[in-house]
Every structure is written in structure tokens, then in C-alpha cells.
């Protein structure tokens, strides 16, 4: 049940959350009462506007748009809460990307005993085990194949040269490669470091929270509490950190009723061009071209952008009953030749296929059962009638569900008018 002084049923709550978003109403809400301008998503994956009053062990306390009283959303129904509009702040020089998808904006301080000392612009100084680090990336740079770690550490320099070896040291001014005949590289010349796997990381299945901050940090916390002014995070190392609520851009529950695939680390990613030419690395929460995922006028915060041929495999946790997603060809300027075959597999068995998907068509919501012993989910986008020409494709809101919906949502598929020039 939803807790509060008023008697809100789940159906009533969803009707309230689906009300029209009125920004002037948000701006008029007293800041002392609640932090206005948030979108709350429950386990039906339909976001609705609310004002945030707080978060604690009981749940998320909000005032729905148009409601007179606050209610508490229990964690069994809570998926995430995001800012309706996001104000980015100046970020640090680098981002430290972890194997679990976390990202800390800031600056390296040193490296000792297989740990990197890091100054986060958001939460202060941290010590992070080297085996948990996937990459160090300078602001404005990117690594195309981030999900495909190299066999040995690789450093790209500003002049385009690259260096391979074992990173044995790091400070605010330099990176050291090797031990006996060490090579020192000025940090100012480093664009990125892609680390080889230093050990297997084990995914956790207990409840946790991923927090987005305005400096582009993405932090996993074992617990989150918030009031009108401050958000308090409990980190994996046992430390507790505070950030101003105004610097928080969103909170997602991990291993809750819904698990977004774009927040999970794939077990494998493959992208194979038809003619062996330019590759198109997979992107989480954006199109393969780096744009927002969109169909028609609606923009989706969650998704995976790929290009045919694409195959992504995810390990499955016990306790999820179903997988759900929609999909469409990415809305690019040129897509009249786009044509793909879409497949979903569970443990290698084909459970959904759509042939000859073309542009301007949004699939219905696809819900796939996940048997209790299922281990691997595979999302595949194959070449169509035009080889891989213009085959940029979006998986839209792909997610694992703790509980399978009582009935599949009404078909949400549709078509758009023909694109200009197509």
C-alpha cells in the first residue's frame, strides 16, 4: 500500500502521476515544503510529476502533482526519481569509470597497494580498488569499445599515439608504466587509460541505489536518505557522504522491482559491420550516434543504441520474472534504407523475432517470460534487406521485471509519417 494521510490506492496514484506536467505549478511550490520538479517512475514504468519531500528506509515521500497531501512510495514499487530538467555543473578534469558502471568526476591523487586515491568533485576523497576500475577518461574524450577491455592497459595520448603496458603508478601529474624500466607519462598528455581486467568483479543482488549528480558522477550507494536540503549516501567502502539535494539529478533503485539493462554491465558486446569497415560501438542511454533516444515527440531516458549487426548478452539474476522492451530504428536524418531483423533469446532459445523492421515504426511493448533457471538474455539486431545501410537501432526502455504484468500493456507500437526525403 501507498502510505499517507490520504487514502491513495495504487490505481489512484498512477492516475495522479499521469497528469499533465505543469512547470509553473512546480515553480510555485514552496521550497520549504518539497523540492519541486521531479519525475517519479513506479513499476509500471510510466513517469509522473511530483515534488520530493524526502527519502528514507520506509520509501520515497512525494507530493503528486495536483494532490494536497504527501504520500510515501514503498521501495517495492519505487523504480527511480529524476529531475524534470537537469542543470549540469562544471565537472573535473577526468572521469573514473568502474566496472559496475559507476563514474566519479574528479582528479587522481595517487596509487598504492592496488588502490587508486581519487578526489571526487562531488563526494570528496576516495580509495578505489584497481580491479574495479575500467577506465580513466579526460573530460570531452570517449573510449569507443569501453565494454571490451584490452588484454593489457592502454593509454591514448593527446597527439594520437598510444602506449601499452601495466600501469604501476599514478599521481596528480603523471602515470607510470612498468616497474624495472618505468616509463613516466605526464598526466596532462593523457586522453584516456583503458585498463585490462585485474580480477573478476562479482555483481551484487541486494537492494542498492544509483545516484546521478549534476557533475556527471554516477554513484552506487547501499542506502540513500534525503530531506529538503541534503542527500546522504552510504558507499561500498562503508563511508557516508553528503551532497546538497540541489546537486542530485536522479536516484534509481538497483535490484528493485525493475532493473534497467542500460544500468547493468553486459557479459559480452559484439558489433560487426557488414563489409568490415567502420564500427559503431554500443551506447547506453543514447543512440549509437550519441543523440537522445526518441520516437516521435517522446524522448526516453533509458535505452541502448546499437548498429547492425549487434549482439548484447546479459547475465540474469534469480528473482526476475520477465523482460520487457520496445524498439525502433533510430530517428536519424537518413533512414529510408534501414531494415533489420530483431531477435530476443533466453539461454540461446529464440523467444521473439521480428523481420524486416523499417524506419518510423515503434514496436508494441514486448514482454518475455524468464524461467526460474534462466542464465543469459541475448538482444540481437541482424542485417536486413539493405545489408547494414542506415541500420541504427534503439532498444527502448529494456528492463528486467520482478513481477510479470498481469496482462501485457496495450500495444504501444505505431508508425510515423514518412520522413522528409525518404
* Confidence band for 274, pLDDT divided at 50, 70 and 90: confident
Instruction: Please determine, for residue 120, whether its predicted confidence score (pLDDT) is greater than 60.
Output: yes
In contact, 126 and 118? CB cutoff 8 Å: yes
The pLDDT, as a whole number, for residue 265 is: 85
DSSP string for 152-191: SEEEEETTS-EEEE-EEEE-SSEEEE-STT-EEEEGGGEE
Instruction: Please determine, for residue 393, whether its predicted confidence score (pLDDT) is greater than 80.
Output: yes
Question: What average pLDDT does the structure give for the chain?
Answer: 85
DSSP string for 222-270: SEEEE-SSEEEEE-TTS-EEEEEGGGEEEEEEETSSEEEGGGSPPSEEE
Higher pLDDT, 385 or 161: 161
Cis preceding linkage at 243, omega within 30: no
User: What's the Cα-to-Cα distance from 216 to each of 47, 102, 240, 248, rounded to whole Å?
Assistant: 22, 10, 20, 10
Q: pLDDT tens digits, residue range 38-76?
A: 999 998 888 899 999 999 989 999 999 888 899 999 999
In contact, 295 and 287? CB cutoff 8 Å: no
The pLDDT, as a whole number, for residue 31 is: 40
Lookup: cell for 318: 534469480
Instruction: Please determine, for residue 12, whether its predicted confidence score (pLDDT) is greater than 60.
Output: no
* Confidence band for 422, pLDDT divided at 50, 70 and 90: very low
Alpha-carbon gap, residue 328 to 262, rounded angstroms: 16
Domain boundaries, the chain: 3-83, 86-243, 260-415
In contact, 288 and 306? CB cutoff 8 Å: yes
The pLDDT, as a whole number, for residue 140 is: 86
Instruction: Please determine, for residue 329, whether its predicted confidence score (pLDDT) is greater than 80.
Output: yes
Look up the pTM and report it.
Answer: 0.75
* Burial letters 330-357, b for 16+ CB under 10 A, else e: bbeeebebbbbbbbbbbeeeebbeeeeb
Residue showing cell 583503458: 194
Q: Which CATH architecture has domain 260-415?
A: Sandwich (2.60)
Q: What does the pLDDT average to over 407-413?
A: 47
Q: pLDDT tens digits, residue range 161-205?
A: 999 999 999 999 999 998 777 899 999 999 999 999 876 655 566
Alpha-carbon gap, residue 35 to 215, rounded angstroms: 19
Alpha-carbon gap, residue 331 to 390, rounded angstroms: 10
Backbone angles phi, psi at 27, to 5 degrees: -65, -25
Amino acid at each position: 500500500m501507498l502510505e499517507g494521510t490520504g487514502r491513495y490506492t495504487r490505481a489512484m496514484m498512477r492516475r495522479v502521476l499521469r497528469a499533465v506536467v505543469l512547470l509553473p505549478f512546480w515553480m510555485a511550490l514552496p521550497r520549504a515544503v518539497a523540492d519541486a520538479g521531479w519525475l517519479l517512475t513506479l513499476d509500471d514504468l510510466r513517469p509522473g510529476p511530483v515534488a520530493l519531500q524526502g527519502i528514507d528506509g520506509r520509501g520515497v515521500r512525494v507530493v503528486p502533482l495536483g494532490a494536497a497531501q504527501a504520500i510515501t512510495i514503498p521501495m517495492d514499487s519505487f523504480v527511480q526519481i529524476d529531475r524534470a530538467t537537469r542543470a549540469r555543473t562544471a565537472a573535473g578534469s577526468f572521469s573514473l569509470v568502474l566496472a559496475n558502471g559507476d563514474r566519479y568526476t574528479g582528479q587522481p591523487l595517487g596509487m598504492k597497494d592496488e588502490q587508486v586515491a581519487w578526489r571526487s568533485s562531488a563526494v570528496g576523497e576516495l580509495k578505489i580498488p584497481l580491479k574495479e576500475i575500467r577506465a580513466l577518461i579526460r573530460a570531452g574524450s570517449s573510449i569507443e569499445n569501453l565494454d571490451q577491455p584490452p588484454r593489457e592497459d592502454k593509454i591514448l595520448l593527446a597527439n594520437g599515439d598510444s602506449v601499452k603496458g601495466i600501469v604501476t603508478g599514478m599521481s596528480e601529474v603523471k602515470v607510470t608504466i612498468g616497474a624495472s624500466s618505468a616509463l613516466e607519462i605526464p598526466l596532462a598528455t593523457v586522453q584516456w587509460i583503458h585498463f585490462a581486467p585485474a580480477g573478476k568483479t562479482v555483481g551484487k543482488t541486494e537492494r542498492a541505489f544509483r545516484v546521478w549528480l549534476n557533475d556527471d558522477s554516477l554513484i552506487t550507494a547501499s542506502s540513500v536518505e534525503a530531506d529538503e536540503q541534503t542527500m546522504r549516501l552510504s558507499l561500498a567502502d562503508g563511508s557516508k557522504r553528503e551532497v546538497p539535494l540541489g546537486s542530485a539529478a536522479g536516484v534509481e533503485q538497483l535490484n528493485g522491482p525493475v532493473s534497467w539493462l542500460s544500468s547493468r554491465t553486459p557479459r559480452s558486446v559484439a558489433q560487426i559491420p557488414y563489409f568490415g569497415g567502420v564500427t559503431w560501438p554500443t551506447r547506453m542511454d543514447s543512440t549509437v550516434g550519441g543523440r537522445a533516444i526518441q520516437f516521435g515527440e517522446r524522448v526516453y531516458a533509458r535505452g541502448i543504441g546499437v548498429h547492425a549487426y549487434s549482439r548484447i548478452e546479459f547475465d540474469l539474476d534469480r528473482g526476475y520474472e520477465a523482460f520487457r522492451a520496445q524498439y525502433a530504428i533510430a530517428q536519424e536524418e537518413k533512414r529510408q534504407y534501414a531494415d533489420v531483423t530483431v531477435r530476443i533469446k533466453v539461454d540461446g532459445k529464440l523467444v521473439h523475432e521480428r523481420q524486416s523492421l523499417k524506419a518510423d515504426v515503434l514496436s508494441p511493448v514486448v514482454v518475455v517470460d524468464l524461467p526460474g533457471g534462466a542464465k543469459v538474455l541475448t538482444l540481437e539486431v541482424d542485417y536486413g534487406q539493405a545489408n547494414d545501410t542506415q541500420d541504427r537501432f534503439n532498444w527502448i526502455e529494456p528492463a528486467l521485471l520482478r513481477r510479470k504484468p498481469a496482462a501485457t500493456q496495450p500495444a504501444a507500437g505505431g508508425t510515423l509519417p514518412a520522413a522528409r526525403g525518404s
